[in-house]
Structure 1
Amino acid sequence: SSTDRVSSGTPRPFSFSFNTSDYRILLMDQDQGRLYLGSREYLVALDMHNVNKEPLIIHWPASAKRKGECQMTGKGKQVGSHEPWNRTHLYTCGTGAYQPICTFINRGWRAEDYLFRLVPGYVDSGKGKCSYDPKQENVAVLINSNLYAGVHIDFMSTDAALFRTMGGRTAIRTEQYDSRWLNEPVFIQIQQIPDSAEKNDDKLYFFFREKSLDSSGGASPTVLARVGRVCLNDEGGQKSLVNRWTTFLKARLICSVIGEDGVETRFDELRDVFIQPTQDERNPMVYALFTTAGSVFKGSAVCVYSMADIRNVFNGPFAHKHGHNYQWTEYTGKIPYPRPGTCPGGTFTPGIRSSKNFSDEAVNFIRAHPLMFHPVYPIHRRPLVVRTGVDYRFTALVVDQVDAVDGRYEVLFLGTDRGTVQKVIVLPKDPTSFEELTLEEVEVFRVPPVKTMKISSKRQQLYVSSDAGLTQVSLHRCGVYGRACSDCCLARDPYCAWDGESCSAFTPSTKRRSRRQDVKHGDPLRQCRGFNAKGKTVQFGVEGSSTFLECQPRSPQATVKWLFQREGKRKVVRERGNQLFS
């Protein structure tokens, strides 16, 4: 369960003095050390070292005419996306008071140029690139001058699609008004992930949630989490699916936990996805954040998926609806060639040069069967992190890989709807079970919820946005664990180690003999023998004198106990689990 200890000392957020709101982190530019932020009518470039340094600002309001026409809705312009076009320019789109438009921003060669301005006189239609309504979440990525976007394309937000525009090719999209393809989707994440050494096999994977087609059944979930994919070189069909994807497939993501009573709790509302690269670019780890779909029971979970499992599902059987009660079943008929979902000119279709050369049979099959029969289960078939019976939900997720004295660890930073960020580590206990520890919980905003988060391992900073503004939090705050070796060790924070003087940031390159850290066991007796001159774990008070009784442990992994002894001595005992350290 979550720690009840919330560190206060709210970091000072960046926000405008103007009347604007809904801050979203659009892009993190590691090379220039800038963070690009969007809010109503404004674009901002912030210094990643210090977000409170003088920002570069573009005021980009909708025209007075559009604002007037839009007065009924009470909406200004909300920036929807920022994508790097080249070394010096960004491509940006905004809802434009319900008339999406896009343009280029010149950001200069280097951060020192202090350049951040709209390219004069250039405006593009934002249709198919950015939603009309600022409340509609959309995702976008630029690949080889093509913009791939999951957006709502109409004023009423009834037509949602995965689009490809720009790049000199004909625009292409998902089938319109076909609930088998997309049923009121909310797009969460989109990324190119290569499938093989053959470039023609490259696919775009996207994550979203959508309404279930079977939600009238009562027991069946109303919302489903999905992973979908298309081939980057898909040109649409020749006779059928013209200017439509001919390789669009989707599968369900399962994230659930079986309680002690045997009842399964399902987390179906996909909220955020973090794709963690590995040394193999074809096999990143997919971290997905879910909440329960109902409003009564509050629960959140993080599940981790492997690309191998995702690909196996896409290579498996297709789902098919038939029979008198119209249930989903496994399609057992003949699968046409080339197999629906494979890319033209790829490993399995070397002789087919374009999707326009796919057989009518293959194109018609995928039009009617975009869904895979098997769902994707998480690694170990259970969540990595679970929160149930708490009064909050998680809203955002980022992950960092940290090298510690005793190995490499995954640290999760989880934003909540109460304006805090929890720092969580999951430790393997044995091959089949885990121990989940909340290292700390920091209050980031007094105005919840946390909206978006980005992480920079290079700068050791976490950037967090909400309606109220944006703030940065250091990934390590070792000072809060005190100066004693035992306190530092009990904290079990892979970012921190005791250096002989205090609890300080650990970097693998500074391995000195005196550095003490024990993430796996948090055992100060073993680690700190002979090092406890500062801040001993045992303190005595003499009768008749006054002693400061520390009530607040230095980390959630430790507890403080004061024992009163009849002989007139008081002593403190720190406890972790069932072990007493005295």
Structure 2
Amino acid sequence: MSGTAQLKLSSHKEAMYLLLCMSVFWFLPLALMLVDDTPLECVPRRYVPYHSNNARLFHEEGVSNYSVMLLREDLQLLLVGAREALYALDLDDVSKMRASVKWEVTEKQNDDCQNKGRDPETECKNYIKILHLMKDNRMYVCGTNAFDPECDYMSYSNGKLTLEKAAEDGKGKCPFNPLQRYASIMVDDNLYSATSMNFLGSELALRRSSPPIRTEIKTSWLNEPNFVSLAQMPESDEGDDDKVYLFFSETAVEYDCYKKPVVVSRVARVCKGDMGGRRTLQRKWTSFLKAGLECPVLGSQLPNIIQNTYRWCDPEKHWEDCLFYTIFTPQSDTSDLSAVCVYSLSDINRVFAEGQFKTLVPLETSFIWVAYSGEVPDPRPGSCQTQSLDLPDQTLHFIKDRPLMDDIIHPIGEKPVLERRGAAFTCIVVNQVQAADGHKYRVMFIGMEDGTLLKAVNYDGEMFIIEQVQLFQSPESVKVLRFSDVTGQLYAGSDYGAVQVPVATCGRSSSCMDCVLARDPYCGWDTDAGSCVALSSTQRQLIQSVKEGDASLCPPADSVEVGNRSFLPGGSVKLLCPSPSNLGTTTWEQDGQRVNSSVRHQLLQDGLLILNASDSDSGRYRCLSVEHSKSHKYTATLAEYQLSLKGEPRLPQAQKESTSTVGLHIVIGLLVVSLVALLAWNFYNGHLPPPWSCSKMLRGKSYDSNGQEDPGPL
């Protein structure tokens, strides 16, 4: 090759290298295009502070980390795995415990763990991490077991939970470190797990238990991954093999030119029938492929990181129409944006079946990842084959070196369905419900880092947050969410405990307007009962308008009962008016005239405070709520008061001493006694000259030994 040709090739590679380095910001232009389309301040219509009525709670003293849940609807049970304990809770009321069993580490296990440099009070315990149902109705359970993972079989019979004490080795199935991210799923009594293989947590792999098969320990396969979730798709109805999908994040090998490590989100896929290769990739996946996931969040200059997924499939549609609702949070500490992106299974499979592969090419003294433009072997690398042992070495060597796809998987609509500032999203569950208009809507329930639960719906591209509910008294991060079709209830777990939450909370709306403006597909206004009720609880026609929030459908509201209040001149009075909606604006009127905020009239979030009240403040007060829904504006009277003057001004000298005044006198008396005692102590110890040393200066007066004036002879 001539020098000119070499120079051109070098320049071409350098240009590709520069372009690849810049591609770490591949989603930024799209994000900028979406500035006007996606609101960042998506405010919940209603915020519900913590109250014991919000949810039914289970908590056992001394036990923490209620982070693993298994629904046993056949037994009417919710199985919960916690630290060194497992519980069988009543599915209808989780505050009622049916049974429990302890799985504690021995003193020797704790000592061995401590000798390896681990904390005896936190790390050297048995954290339950895996809890799956098997075909024989037993449950497969694994725990960290003081950094020595172990698995067992558990059964429920005659009201008791029983561990068989099988003591199966849990290495490669369950994490060693209770804080390390992992994922697992049971498919036909076969455990698929993504976790660490060793004590140090340095060898991480996607593994199937039997026949044993796993990923290569190679950075091009998995590079410092954080595993999120596993999902199985039964796709054999088309003659293809069933597949298992792994969602995770990892340090990107393709961006090693960047100054700092860049973390990216991925989805990987393996075939259930994969048996590994005969010579190449023995007991390794021959079908392992992975691709990048894009979730373009506004203002982010680095890829956002996947945290949780929920697979949603319409039972009336083909499996290719299944969706993955996915939570993303920023990898930069300077951002507080969380997002939900939705991906279709068909888009994911299209990338794996038709997309280009990435490959390493040399660039001077290093290598870069670029799109592979050469010939792809047949059978296509990564495709599901009935006999993977018969795959040619050419196909196996190709997939061993090039498991990463060049194509990026984009979310439906090319943008998130929800973006929000504040506490980070942690987990998500989606439930479909049919509203009064006959349409079906998918409601998202999102657990958050501050212990709250968001309830949100996307109405034809408009994201509407119905409510935000505080589940736990203290800000406990929601670690797991489950939904039961049988009970229609949500179940959430945190470090503190497990709670049960209804999906329909219609009783929080006390008027037809409030019920309709809530735009909750579970709820409607029953004119006969005069209450907001769940659609599933009645056969009557209910008033509901979820897409538009058209409250004009409501009958005229009943007049508000007038409250009589009186005040003393110069005093203060507060008129309460809690608003049912964060989207509404509260205004006050006095005798039909608007009350403006001033030093004396303070407009509070929950009412009106009048200071230094006078005769001019008497009158009829109305609290009004003005709320916009789509293009309409609705006004409702929330409260009404008749405020009147009471009595005449009272002079200070005519007033009786109040309790606070009497208390003040007592305090002053105690201070005087303390001062006298302090002076006497100083005289006694010689810190101050005795009072008699000043007798020459005090003519005509004498004092006794206690420093008191001597009155002389009577």
Query: TM-score, normalization: structure 1?
Result: 0.88
Q: Radius of gyration: which is bigger?
A: 2
| Gap change, CA 1:563 and 1:90, over 3 Å in 2 | same
Once the two structures are overlaid, the 10-residue window that deviates more, 502-511 or 471-480, is 502-511
State percent identity of aligned pairs. Answer: 33
1:332 counterpart SS class: coil
In structure 2, do the counterparts of structure 1 residues 380 and 131 end up closer, same or farther at CA, with 3 Å as the change threshold?
A: same
Residue number in structure 2 paired with 1:462: 490
1:167-186 Cα distance to aligned partner (Å, 9 max, x none): xx2x110002x011011112
Mapping of residues 233-272 of structure 1, within 5 Å: 233-258=273-298, 263=299, 268-272=304-308
CA distance in 2, matches of 1:550, 1:425: 32
Q: Give distance in 2, aligned partners of 1:154 and 1:274.
A: 29
Q: CA deviation at 1:266?
A: 5.4
What's the CA shift for 1:370?
A: 0.3
Give the 5 Å matches for 1:25-104: 25-71=68-114, 72-73=117-118, 74=120, 75-104=124-153
- After superposition, the Cα gap between the structure-2 partners of 1:101 and 1:330, relative to the gap in structure 1 and judged at 3 Å, is same
* 1:114 match: 159
CA distance in structure 2 between the partners assigned to 1:220 and 1:380 by the alignment = 31
1:543 Cα deviation after fit: 11
2:346 & 2:171 partners in 1: Cα distance?
35
Measure how far apart 1:507 and its partner are: 2.6
Cα drift, residue 83 of structure 1:
1.1
Matched, 1:285 2:323: yes
Instruction: Indicate whether 1:562 and 2:588 are aligned.
Output: yes
Q: Does 1:157 align with 2:157?
A: no
Distance in 1 (alpha carbons) for counterparts of 2:331 and 2:464: 25
CA displacement at 1:63 relative to structure 2? 2.6
Indicate how the Cα distance of structure 1 residues 65 and 199 shifts in structure 2: closer, same or farther if over 3 A, else same: farther
Alpha-carbon distance between aligned partners in 1 of 2:533 and 2:269, rounded to the nearest angstrom: 41
- Quote the Cα distance in structure 2 between the aligned partners of 1:508 and 1:566: 44
Matched, 1:395 2:426: yes
Q: 2:391 aligns with which of 352, 358, 373?
A: 358
Counterpart amino acid of residue 103 in structure 1: D
- Could you tell me the TM-score, scaled by structure 2's length? 0.72
Distance in 2 (CA, whole Å) between partners of 1:466 and 1:130 is 20
Q: 1:368 aligns with which of 394, 397, 401?
A: 401
1:104 partner amino acid: Y
Q: Which residue of 2 aligns with 1:431?
A: none
Deviation at 1:154, TM superposition (A): 0.4
Q: What is the CA–CA distance in structure 1 between the aligned matches of 2:199 and 2:153, rounded to whole Å? A: 24
Displacement, 1:221?
Answer: 6.8
Per the alignment, do residues 570 and 163 of structure 1 end up closer, same or farther by CA in structure 2, a change over 3 Å counting? same
Contact 2:512 2:532 in 1 (8 A): no
Contact 1:84 1:91 in 2 (8 A): yes
> 1:439-450 maps to which residues of 2 (within 5 A)?
439-445=466-472, 446-450=474-478
Residue equivalent to 1:351: none
Name which of 397, 401, 418 aligns with 1:385.
418
Residue of structure 2 in register with 1:174 after alignment: 215
* CA displacement at 1:456 relative to structure 2: 1.7
SS at the partner of 1:365? helix
Q: Does 1:519 align with 2:572?
A: no
Which residue in the other structure is 2:658 paired with? Answer: none
Give runs of aligned pairs for residues 129-168 of structure 1, distance below 5 A: 129-166=173-210
The worse-fitting range, judged by mean Cα deviation, of 276-285 and 148-157 is 276-285
Instruction: Provide the C-alpha distance between the structure 2 equivalents of 1:519 and 1:382, rounded to a whole number of angstroms.
Output: 23
Give yes or no for contact 2:357–2:404 (8 Å, CA) kept in 1.
yes
**8 Å contact kept, 2:481–2:493:** yes
Q: Does 1:488 align with 2:488?
A: no
Change beyond 3 A, Cα 1:61–1:117? same
What residue identity is the alignment partner of 2:487?
Answer: R
How many residues were matched structurally?
Answer: 546
- Contact kept? 1:439, 1:557, Cα under 8 Å: no
What are the equivalent positions in structure 2 for 1:494-573 lying under 5 Å apart? 494-500=521-527, 501-507=529-535, 510-513=538-541, 515-525=542-552, 527-528=553-554, 531-534=555-558, 551-564=577-590, 565-566=592-593, 570-573=621-624
Residues 216 and 319 (structure 1 numbering): CA distance in 2 closer, same or farther, change over 3 Å? closer
The answer as to whether partners of 1:542 and 1:570 remain within 8 angstroms in 2 is no
Look up the match of 1:273. 309
CA distance in 1, matches of 2:92, 2:239: 37
Residues 491 and 558 in structure 1, CA contact (< 8 A), matched pair in contact too: no
Q: Distance in 2 between matches of 1:503 and 1:273?
A: 36
CA distance in structure 1 between the aligned counterparts of 2:266 and 2:100, rounded to whole angstroms: 37
SS of 1:313's equivalent? helix
Within 1, Cα distance between the matches of 2:72 and 2:283?
Answer: 33
1:226 aligned onto 2:254: no
| Deviation of 1:36 (Å) | 1.4
Structure 1 window deviating more from structure 2 (321-330 vs 281-290): it is 321-330
What secondary structure sits across from 1:522 in the alignment? Answer: coil
1:205 aligns with 2:232: no
Q: C-alpha distance in 2, partners of 1:566/1:481?
A: 29
1-structure distance, mates of 2:303, 2:482: 24
Quote the offset at 1:45 in angstroms: 1.3
Is the Cα–Cα contact under 8 Å of residues 146 and 165 in structure 1 kept in the other structure? yes
Q: What code does the residue aligned with 2:428 have? A: L
Report if the CA contact (8 A) 1:491-1:554 is conserved: no
Q: 2:429 corresponds to which letter in structure 1?
A: V
SS in 1 for 2:97: coil
1:328 maps to which residue? 369
Q: Distance in 2 between matches of 1:255 and 1:57?
A: 41
| Alignment correspondent of 2:440 | 408
Partners of 1:566 and 1:198 in 2: CA distance:
71
Cα distance in 2 between the residues matched to 1:64 and 1:226 = 41
Residue number among 620, 627, 632 corresponding to 1:576 in the alignment: 627
Name the SS of the counterpart of 1:308 in structure 2.
Answer: helix
| Unmatched segments (≥5 aa) in structure 1 | 346-353, 429-433
Q: CA deviation at 1:576?
A: 2.5
Q: CA deviation at 1:136?
A: 1.6
User: Taking structure 1 as reference, are residues 57 and 542 closer, same or farther at Cα in structure 2, changes over 3 Å only?
Assistant: closer
Which whole-Å deviations, capped at 9, do the CAs of 1:470-517 have from their partners, x for residues lacking one?
A: 1111112111111x111111111111111113443333583423x111
SS at the partner of 1:67? helix
Offset at 1:323? Answer: 4.0
> What's the secondary structure of 2:270's corresponding residue?
strand
Aligned to 1:349: none
Structure 1 distance, partners of 2:344, 2:194, is 23
RMSD of aligned residue pairs (Cα, Å)? 2.5
Is 2:335 aligned against 1:297?
yes
**Structure 1, 150-159 or 38-47: larger mean CA deviation:** 38-47
Q: Give 3-state SS (helix, strand or coil) of 2:58's partner.
A: coil
